[in-house]
Structure 1
Amino acid sequence: MPIDPNAALSAAPAVREAAWTERDVILYHLGLGAGVASLDPGELRWVYEKDLQVLPTFAMVAGQGISAGTVTPAGLNLPGIDIDLRRILHGGQSLTVHAPIPLAGSATISSRIADVWDKGKAAVIVLEQTATDADGNPLWTTAMQIWARGEGGFGGSPGPDVPNAVPEREADKMLVSPTGTQQALVYRLSADMNPLHADPEFAKAAGFDKPILHGLASYGVVCKAVVDGVLDGDPTRVRSFSVRFAGSVYPGETIETAVWRDGDTLTLLATCPERDGQPVLTHAAMEVR
């Protein structure tokens, strides 16, 4: 059986140690396109050690970048899960920030399968990771939704139904984030070295015209745009950020993010204008301080 829900859900958490430096933080931000306006003081705070700040989505790559040594292609090695990697998709991502991420530091990261949902034609594996500091204080919690095509039908719960609705009014803010043609080549140095994001022939074999930008790079680009454009450049105001990945972006294209604000809740919709407004991130919400 490719997926054994009982084995997956009952497995003990996997625990690893992660460490990072200011250079990892700066490289991550460069992979999101920060610093293009290199004389802008607001941009320099993302890419220069003087007054450096940390975007909360750095949690997605902490401990996996240049300070970790050799970075290997991402894979899937989970208890109770035996799936061809060509059949899986990164369907959604959420992040809850418990404390500001330090510029340089370490964390203990515990990973477990929190849920397995049966979508009929697919299964969804929810991989949860919790990071704590040296004193055991929580830093962040993430949940990755992994869609496994053709692996449903085992009789499990379909999971929660999350509506993809945006307010029926004009967005309160429109944020425009150009990406660079080399951006995926920079971002992959922070974590995911999958050749899909660098090798034109590999990308064509996978059904794309050319290498695509990482989904988690789009996630970080949108988070940065909201911090810069709505939260006065203060990343510590982000409490949580959840999305579903709806479409790919080619490096060099633009991500446009519509923002609707209702108190401390931001509803977001990210699209690609070069492809007639194709959705990039949907079901997107950010809780802010």
Structure 2
Amino acid sequence: MPIDPDQAIGAALPDQRFSWTSSDVLLYHLAVGAGHRADDPVDPAALRLTYDDRLQVLPSFGIVAPGFHRTTPPALDLPGCDIDLAQVLHGSQSVTVHGPIPTSGSATLHTRVADVWDKGKAAVIVQSGTAVSDAGDPLWTVSSAIFVRGEGGWGGDRGPSTAVEIPHRVADAEATYAVLPQQALLYRLCGDRNPLHADPAFAARAGFPRPILHGLCSYGIVLREVADLLLDGDVSRIRSFTARFSGIVFPGETIRVEAWDGAGSIQVRATIAGGDRDGSPVLSDCVVTAAGS
């Protein structure tokens, strides 16, 4: 079996020492759509993501920061796992910040394989990690799950099945974002060179008619839109964001973001807006926690 849960679960991955600059942060923000509105160049709130002297860091940057300067496809070199990148899809992602992320700095990411679940027709590999500053302080914590198609069925634990219930009322706020035709090519510059997002032949081998947008690009777009909708664009208020990747986005499509403001948390739903795939899911089970929400 290409995945050996007994060997994988609990295994520590090599520590990643990394650094980032304000230019990396600015590029990431542009790659997830910051500055796209006509009045953003003169909007003080929008400039917090696009101009150096007032720069804040969208918490989702912490997910990509350790591999931001990678120029090769991810190796997926996990203990006990021999898997084909073409069979892998991002299942879910969360990030929790322990304070505002500095606009530049260096840190070390400590990661382990937290669990492996058997979904029958697929395996799910869960990884968790914490980025720690040079002074030893935790900066942010991430958790991700990847689906490996065709690798389930060994009779293992299926894992938890939890869903976030959307309030039974019209969303408190809603926005759309028109994904650029070149959005995936731009987002690749943030360190994710998976050919699924650029190479038509590779995308076809993975079962898609053309390259798809990175799930983490959709994730960043949605979090940024929620901050604009309900947090006055102040991303320093965000404490955490959890989401399940429930569908795909093709560059050129439009993402609809709906948000419900609750007691201490914001429930979010992201779907395709317009076209033949109108209403198709993008992100589900989304929760943003933020100070003052």
TM-score class normalised by the smaller sequence: over 0.9
Mapped partners of 2:209, 2:153: distance in 1 = 33
| Gap regions ≥5 residues in structure 2 | none
The one of 54, 58, 68 aligned to 2:61: 58
Could you report, residue by residue, the CA deviation over 1:49-84 in whole angstroms, capped at 9, with x for unpaired residues?
Answer: 12111100001111333xx3x511123110011122
**Which residue is equivalent to 1:91?**
91
Partner SS for 1:219: helix
Alpha-carbon shift at residue 177 of structure 1 (Å): 1.8
Q: What's the TM-score, normalizing by structure 1?
A: 0.93
Counting only pairs closer than 5 Å after superposition, residues 1-289 of structure 1 correspond to structure 2 as 1-37=1-37, 38-65=41-68, 68=69, 71-274=71-274, 275-289=277-291
Range moving further from structure 2, 8-17 or 97-106: 8-17
Change (3 A) 1:207 1:39: farther
Range moving further from structure 2, 265-274 or 217-226: 265-274
Range moving further from structure 2, 6-15 or 29-38: 6-15
Paired positions, count = 286
Partner SS for 2:49: helix
Range moving further from structure 2, 212-221 or 4-13: 4-13
Alpha-carbon shift at residue 114 of structure 1 (Å): 0.5
Mapped partners of 1:9, 1:199: distance in 2 = 32
- What letter corresponds to residue 281 of structure 2 in structure 1? P
Percent identity, aligned pairs only, is 52
Q: State the superposition RMSD in angstroms.
A: 1.7
Mapped partners of 1:257, 1:10: distance in 2 = 36
Mapped partners of 1:14, 1:107: distance in 2 = 14
8 Å contact kept, 2:86–2:206: no
Return structure 1 stretches of 4+ with deviation > 6 angstroms: none
- What letter corresponds to residue 11 of structure 2 in structure 1? A
- What letter corresponds to residue 135 of structure 1 in structure 2? A
Partner SS for 2:82: coil
Mapped partners of 1:144, 1:179: distance in 2 = 24
- What letter corresponds to residue 50 of structure 1 in structure 2? D
| Gap regions ≥5 residues in structure 1 | none
Mapped partners of 2:290, 2:50: distance in 1 = 23
Range moving further from structure 2, 192-201 or 219-228: 192-201
Partner SS for 1:62: helix
Alpha-carbon shift at residue 10 of structure 1 (Å): 3.9
Alpha-carbon shift at residue 44 of structure 1 (Å): 2.4
- What letter corresponds to residue 96 of structure 1 in structure 2? T
8 Å contact kept, 2:212–2:251: yes
Change (3 A) 1:75 1:238: same
Alpha-carbon shift at residue 247 of structure 1 (Å): 1.3
